[in-house]
Amino acid sequence: MPEEELFKTERQVTRTEIADTLRGVADQIESGDVTLVSDTEEQTVPVPDRPRFEVELERLTDSETGDQQYELEYEIRWTK
């Protein structure tokens, strides 16, 4: 199944800003519609009552420097 990216934003922010964003998204998910907004685009999508929810924590280690990078991902999936 081909993937179509509908919205993406990435920027460096404070932990407080991340927490504020997640609180707002949590309220939207609970209400049944999520609106994603950036400087250039906006997408709204309905979220069903019982979507699939995945939490993933990864550690990536640079083979040359040994530097470690972590990724924490929250993913919500459903079929329309």
Distance, in Å, from the CA atom of 16 to the CA atom of 75, rounded to the nearest integer, reads 20
Q: Is the residue at 59 inside a domain?
A: yes
Domains in the chain, number: 1
Domain with 54 in it: 15-77
pTM to 2 decimals? 0.83
Pull the structure tokens for residue 66. 């040994």
Task: Identify the helix (H) or strand (E) that includes residue 70.
Answer: strand 68-77
Q: Is the residue at 10 inside a domain?
A: no
What confidence category does residue 42 fall into, taking pLDDT thresholds of 50, 70 and 90?
A: very high
pLDDT value at residue 13: 97
With a pLDDT cut of 70, the percent of the chain lying above it is 100
Q: Is the residue at 31 inside a domain?
A: yes
Query: Per residue in 6-40, pLDDT tens?
Result: 999 999 999 999 999 999 999 999 999 999 999 89
